[in-house]
Amino acid sequence: MDNNRETTGAKRKREADISSTSEGYISTESSEYDISEDGSDDEFTSDRKYKTTLVESEFLPDDGINRALNIEILISPRVWRDNITAQCTHEGKAIGREIEKVVWMIFNRYGFLKEKFKSYPVHRGTGVWGSELDDGPLLLIEEVYITDAEWRRKGVGSAMVRQLLVVGEKCVNSAKPMDMSPGLIALEFGSLIEDVQPQYVGKSKRQKLEINLRAINTAVSFYRFLGFRCIGSSPCFAYSFNPNHRAQSIAPDMDFGPQMELLDDREEETGMGDYIIPYGVEVQLRERTLSAMRKEFPLHHAATTLPDLECMEYLKKATAEDEINLTIVDRTHKTLLHTLARRLKPERIRWLLAHVNAASSWKSARDINGDSPLDVLKDFLEDMRTKRLVFMGNPDVSDDFRRYPPTAVECLSLLDDTLSPDLSVSHLKYGCTCGQSEILYDMLSYGIDDGQTWVEWNDSRLENVAYDVQQNFKTNKSICQGYTNIFSRVCDCLQSNLAPSVEKILQAVEQWNEWPPVTRNYLTRAGDLRGIRAAVTCILDEAHSMDDRTGNGE
pLDDT-derived band at 27 (thresholds 50, 70, 90) equals very low
Mean pLDDT of 17-41: 36
Which pLDDT score is estimated for 122? 80
Q: Give residue 360's Cα distance to chain centre.
A: 30
Asked if the model's pLDDT at residue 240 lies above 70, the reply is yes
How does the average pLDDT of the chain come out, rounded? 69
281: enclosing H helix or E strand: strand 280-283
Beta-sheet pairing, 184-186 with 139-145 = parallel
Give dist(CA 18, CA 168) in Å, integer: 15
Which pLDDT score is estimated for 319? 78
19: enclosing H helix or E strand: strand 17-22
**Do 240 and 183 touch, CB atoms closer than 8 A?**
yes
Q: Of the candidates 319, 324, 318, 283, which has an alpha carbon nearest to the alpha carbon of residue 304?
A: 283
pLDDT tens for 147-194 read 777 777 778 788 888 877 877 777 666 655 444 445 566 655 554 556
Which pLDDT score is estimated for 535? 85
pLDDT-derived band at 85 (thresholds 50, 70, 90) equals very low
**Do 18 and 27 touch, CB atoms closer than 8 A?**
yes
Which pLDDT score is estimated for 55? 54
Asked if the model's pLDDT at residue 73 lies above 60, the reply is no
pLDDT-derived band at 394 (thresholds 50, 70, 90) equals low
Asked if the model's pLDDT at residue 441 lies above 70, the reply is no
pLDDT tens for 455-489 read 887 777 788 888 888 888 888 888 888 888 888 88
Give dist(CA 403, CA 426) in Å, integer: 9
pLDDT tens for 308-336 read 888 888 888 887 776 667 778 888 888 98
Q: Which residue has the higher pLDDT, 73 or 128?
A: 128
Give dist(CA 411, CA 432) in Å, integer: 19
Q: Give the type of residue at 488.
A: S
Which pLDDT score is estimated for 440? 64
Q: Which residues fall within 8 angstroms of residue 279, CB to CB, at 6 or more apart?
A: 344, 384, 404, 405, 408
Does the pTM surpass 0.85? The reply is: no
pLDDT-derived band at 373 (thresholds 50, 70, 90) equals very high
Q: Mind listing the domains of the chain with CATH numbers? A: 73-249 (no CATH), 300-429 (1.25.40.20), 435-546 (no CATH)
Q: Which residue has the higher pLDDT, 551 or 143?
A: 143
Bond prior to 516 in cis (omega within 30° of 0): yes
pLDDT-derived band at 295 (thresholds 50, 70, 90) equals confident
Own/partner long-range contacts of 465-473 (Cβ < 8 Å, ≥24 apart) = 465/526, 465/531, 465/534, 466/526, 466/530, 466/534, 469/522, 469/525, 469/526, 469/531, 472/525
Give dist(CA 416, CA 427) in Å, integer: 13
Asked if the model's pLDDT at residue 533 lies above 50, the reply is yes
Q: Which residue has the higher pLDDT, 277 or 426?
A: 426
Neighbours of 239 (CB within 10 A): 24
pLDDT above 90 covers a percentage of the chain that reads 1
Q: Which residue has the higher pLDDT, 61 or 224?
A: 224
Mean pLDDT of 226-235: 87
Backbone angles phi, psi at 273, to 5 degrees: -80, 60
Asked if the model's pLDDT at residue 220 lies above 80, the reply is yes
Mean pLDDT of 331-343: 88
Cα separations (Å) of 444 from 76, 78, 395, 477, 524? 46, 40, 37, 12, 20
Q: Which residues fall within 8 angstroms of residue 395, CB to CB, at 6 or more apart?
A: 93, 387, 388
